[in-house]
Homo-oligomer: A and B are copies of this chain.
Amino acid sequence: MAYDAIETPFGKTEKIIGGSAVYVAYAASNFVQPINQVSIIGYDFEKKELESLKERGVSLEGVEVVSDKKSFFWSGKYYLDMNSRDTLVTDLNVLADFNPVVPDRYQGSEFVMLGNLAPRTQINVIEQLKERPKLIAMDTMNFWMETAMDDLKIVLKMVDVLLINDSEARQLSGEYSLVKAAKAVMKMGPRYLIIKKGEHGALLFHNDNVFFAPALPLESVFDPTGAGDTFAGGFMGYLAKTKDISFENMKTAIIFGSALASFCVEKFGTERLKEISHADIDDRVKQFVDLVNFDIALV
């Protein structure tokens, strides 16, 4: 949970609410409630934002509030292609001493999503869970591959699903081909691998199976911040709602994740995610069906 200041070719924000856990929570709460949030914030985190999360069924019992420090802050600037961005400011603030504590009431959570933090912190959370969840998914990034690869290898063996982008998959595996990269990454632990390709969609790998979900071609991508986390939240939320972790159901979950992500990028930060209804989500999912649906008559 964090504050972001974002600049895109279409505009600029002051500090707005952000952070992986916020995007995941907003997306997943469309499918299941409560969302058992574990995070850390500073004295500057606005009460109205916490209220807004509570109204969405997000439990804040696991969110530590530090009274003499500020929340994590990130500032970045996107360029026209929206795939590349410059980080202008990263203030760790409260995150420098984050020691997540899983409240008793969260024990028994069946679907666990670990945001992109130090692998050691991710391990720490998993080790606090008394019962093995039905499904553990995690995100990570190139920074941890470069600075904490040993820990990363350990946590990869503890999870079921890894969500990373294409360049991260290449870096983690040392393979350029995403098909070869996927095989190598799955050998490191996760039985399911989701490779996110931004505007080019996402791939789900499991054993020898592969599924491709396109991104919706949009007139304009206003702000891509949080799209990957929103995707993850939609994916996990749909699985938690249906309680079915088969490959077949994961395909559908990825479509819902893609649909949520397509809303996220339409406005700054979480703004659009706060507005949308179940009917909006269903309409968007139908657009995905139309986008890829074709009849086939073989030659």
Contacts and interface: CB of A to CB of B under 8 A. Distances in A.
Contact of A299 (B210, B254, B282): B282
Interface stretch (A35-43, A84-92, A153-161, A195-203): A195-203
Interface string A107-136: 000000000000000000000000000000
Contacts of A291: 210-212
Interface string A214-226: 1001111100000
A220 B179 CA distance: 8
A252 B217 contact: no
B80 A176 contact: yes
A292 B295 contact: no
A219 B252 contact: no
B252 A296 contact: yes
A299 B255 contact: no
Contacts of A23: none
Given A200-B200, A291-B211, A218 B298 contact: no
A176 B291 CA distance: 21
A72 interface: no
A203 to B, nearest CB: 6
A255 B296 contact: yes
A214 B214 contact: yes
A166 B294 CA distance: 22
Interface residues of A, number: 49
Given A81-B176, A176-B81, A299-B282, A294 B217 contact: no
Contacts of A179: 217-219
B251 A294 contact: yes
Contacts of A177: 218-221
Nearest to A182: B217
A188 interface: no
Given A179-B218, A299-B282, A292 B289 contact: no
B197 A252 contact: no
A180 interface: yes
A178 interface: yes
A292 B218 contact: no
Interface string A245-276: 00010011011100000000000000000000
A214 to B, nearest CB: 5
Highest count of chain B CB atoms <10 Å: which of A217, A219, A295: A217
A31 interface: yes
